[in-house]
Structure 1
Amino acid sequence: MRIARLFPILLLLSAPVFAQQKADTSQTSVKEDFRDDWANLRHYEMENKTLGKPAPGEKRVVFLGSSVFEFWKTRLPEYFAAHKNYIDRGISGQIAPQLLLRFQQDVIALKPKAVIILAGSNDIAGTTGHVTNERILNDIKSMVELCQVHKITPILCAYVPINEYPWRKGLEPAEKIISLNKAITAYAAQNKLILLDYYTPLVDDKKGTRPDLTLDGVHPNAAGYRIMAKVTDEAIAKALKQK
């Protein structure tokens, strides 16, 4: 009888414990929401912290862009291995405003002497909507102005030639890339900025990248990156000479 009378009391006392355990379980199963990190700042956040400040005499150069830069590290890794002062900060799929949002963390905070800004292809591809050359160029201008404030030499890029996006067939981007490159070239000339031309050494007779230099018509292969490396080193040498 005593046990029977105690059972309801024990059940009531244990209820909050069971409820707490259930609440704790539900909390740990919730997936973290990163929608507020639209620019994907977390991508290089920890790597930036471990990188630290440039060593005395080091002339650091940041490569800021999307997949063309991000894939470079894996398709021609010896290039960055041979240039310890080159810091790749490409994130696949990003558009120009995302690069601008990342500029403080992934460029300025790393204290480089120069930054290569490769922007525009994903904007043209319509990854997140319809974007004009003017909007792309405005984001590039904002990045250049940040460079001027922080005494970083900006290197602007004429984008690689593309005549078809495998994931957006029929878009006909060749002339759009050419138009954007003309706008960037004119802005660079007007403001006496260094222009890194990735278009000319890669282009074929169809206004795309030569088949022997690309994997999919958009991203270079190792041979393509070797050609890009040569013109990149020339542009960096010019930029660092100004320092």
Structure 2
Amino acid sequence: MLERLEKAPYWALLSLAMNCLLLMAVSLTWEGDRTPKDSTPTTSVLPQAKASMASEAAESTDGLVTAVGDREYFNYQQWVELVRQEARAHADAPRLTVLLGDSISLWFPQELLPGRRTWLNQGISGEKSDMLLRRLDALDGTQPDTIFVMVGINDLIAQVPEQAVAQNLEQTVQYLKQQHPDAHIIVQSILPHGSERATWEGRDRLLQLPNDRIQAVNTAIAQMTEAEGVDYLNLYPLFADGEGALRPDLTTDGLHLNDRGYLVWRTAIALQLNEDGDR
């Protein structure tokens, strides 16, 4: 048994250890940081339609057009305008905490976000790192306490070079530091995908992306965050199985997360905020 553990991949051992910690942390943080009924709302107050759109949305093959049930279609520019409206509505929100990213961030269940904060979800389905970089000015009028960033999986699926992803994230961090010098910036790792078990509609493209390429980009992101003096939250080991692929119990299709996956992510966020003194 000991010999098997010694030969196991590092991410498998780290995943095992971290998940043991998460099992304990979930029970401690679930009730501990939920928002009291009379405290500040923790989720976006604008508009209710966005929540329903997020639950029904399906990415097109190019990631730029989002189908909303059978009723209407939102193209990318309409999504950008929607998140800009929400950002303007949160200009003076207390303890504003922002999620920046793609559909994985967009579909984060509001009820699972850690409490005692005002959460502003700025995720857009199909987002790539250069697209996110171009819309960061939507936050210029806000005063965020904390900003979480996760982006890059759509770049890699589209065969964007790793170096370009890392550079776009570096420019993203530099912009946020300049515009929001008092904000706590946390860049999160790109998550693994489900490999052969994936059922996502773009599975063929997904299988052309080895998970070790994602790990290589994450290494570059970690180095960048250290150089820029911002925090790095490495989620990869929490979601990876023994082969480095996305754990099937945490995903709906090998790319996106189910509620259990979001609970793991939520607990990691809560622990990160607690480690930093829950600013």
Distance 1:188 1:134 in 2: 15
CA RMSD across the alignment = 2.4
- Asked if structure 2 preserves the Cα contact closer than 8 Å seen for 1:63 and 1:88, the reply is yes
In structure 2, relative to structure 1, the CA distance for the partners of 1:147 and 1:223 (3 Å cut) is: same
- Asked if structure 2 preserves the Cα contact closer than 8 Å seen for 1:114 and 1:240, the reply is no
Equivalent residue pairs, number: 198
1:168-211 Cα offsets, whole Å, 9 max, x none, are 42313311111111111122233332111211111102321111
Which residue is 2:151 aligned to? 119
Map residues 1-243 of structure 1 onto 2, 5 A cutoff.
Answer: 40-54=79-93, 58-73=94-109, 77-80=110-113, 82-105=115-138, 107-126=139-158, 130-149=159-178, 150-151=180-181, 152-164=183-195, 166=200, 167-169=202-204, 170-238=207-275
In structure 2, relative to structure 1, the CA distance for the partners of 1:163 and 1:180 (3 Å cut) is: farther
- Structure 1 portions without partners, runs of 5+: 1-33
Tell me, what secondary structure is at the counterpart of 1:205? Answer: coil
Distance 2:116 2:251 in 1: 23
The two structures have a TM-score, normalised by structure 1, of: 0.73
The two structures have a TM-score, normalised by structure 2, of: 0.64
Distance 2:261 2:98 in 1: 20
1:123-153 Cα offsets, whole Å, 9 max, x none, are 0011xxx311111111111111112213122
Offset of residue 159 of structure 1? 1.3
Distance 2:90 2:229 in 1: 31
- Structure 2 portions without partners, runs of 5+: 1-73
Offset of residue 239 of structure 1? 5.0
Amino acid at match of 2:95: K
Tell me, what secondary structure is at the counterpart of 1:216? Answer: coil
Distance 1:39 1:197 in 2: 32
Q: Percent identity?
A: 22
In structure 2, relative to structure 1, the CA distance for the partners of 1:113 and 1:238 (3 Å cut) is: farther
